Amino acid sequence: MATVTFLTKKIISALCYPLGLSLLFLFAGVLLWRRRPKSRLGFFMALAGSIWLLVMSLPITGFLLMRPLEIEAGGYGNPSELAKEGVRYIVVLSGDTVTGDSSPTDRWGHSILRVMEGIRLRQGIPNSILVLSGASSPGSQSQADAMATLPSQLGVPKQSLMLETRAWDTIDEAKLFAHVVGKEPFALVTSATHLPRSMEIFRNLGLKPLVFCYSNNFTSGTSS
């Protein structure tokens, strides 16, 4: 049931993205235009879809939309400052992974940046635990297990890794991690553009992510 719900949410989200909205307008506009050639509504819907796709494809549009989120996210976490605040858990939110015979560094897009940021923080915080999350589709490896491959190969001890393989999205992660971190402060690692929403979700459940830790930056040229 969780898999079906997750896939449904993904499909709806895809339709709400610029490309999805543009295709919906174009398809509906062309269909209406062909069925009612004398009506201008179909033409204007197709035109609106084309213009929307063009505008959202421009680099300046992405910059203007992403930059405020990055500013709100703040700066990278300082391990020594986190240690002073009593942080023990470094929570890395899941991202996209791919299957195959590729090396661990080739299996992810932005997820590898999140994992590397988590490793950096863990190395600077004595006795800290790196928490990785991500569920799995039936018959496949979980995202958490896939993400754990790289820290293990880079020398992170097994006892310093904690995997949560039941979380499908950020809301699931917040609910499940509440039983792990409790009321303790912790570092939250995700993409800059995803961080403000993630922080709000975690804080609404009474959790205490103390600092803004993020793994990549849209306006510096990396993907989000």
Residue 74 in contact with residue 149, Cβ under 8 Å? Answer: no
Q: How far is CA 144 from the centre of its chain?
A: 13
Report how far residue 2's alpha carbon sits from residue 16's, in angstroms, rounded to the nearest whole number. 21
pLDDT for residue 130: 93
pLDDT for residue 212: 61
User: Exposure string (b/e) for 133-147, b if CB count within 10 Å is 16 or more?
Assistant: bbbbeeeeebbbebb
CA nearest neighbour of 133 among 93, 97, 181: 93
Q: How many CB atoms lie within 10 A of CB 100?
A: 7
> Could you tell me the pTM of the whole model?
0.71
pLDDT for residue 2: 54
DSSP 8-state class, residue 140: S
Give the residue carrying structure tokens 């993400």. Answer: 147
Report how far residue 27's alpha carbon sits from residue 125's, in angstroms, rounded to the nearest whole number. 53
pLDDT for residue 199: 87
Structure tokens at 70: 């990055």
Write out residues in the chain with pLDDT < 70, as ranges: 1-7, 9-11, 13-16, 95-110, 136-142, 211-224
CA nearest neighbour of 115 among 138, 149, 83, 80: 149
pLDDT for residue 158: 86
Find all residues with CB under 8 Å of 200, minimum gap 6, and list them: none
pLDDT for residue 4: 63
DSSP 8-state class, residue 132: E
DSSP 8-state class, residue 101: S
pLDDT (tens digit per residue) in 91-150: 988 766 555 566 655 656 567 888 888 899 998 998 999 998 877 655 556 677 777 778
pLDDT for residue 219: 47
pLDDT for residue 90: 93
**Backbone phi, psi, residue 11, to 5°:** -65, -45
At residue 204, what is the residue type?
N
Residue 174 in contact with residue 205, Cβ under 8 Å? Answer: yes
What angle (nearest 5°) sits at the alpha carbon of residue 154, between those of residues 97 and 104? 25
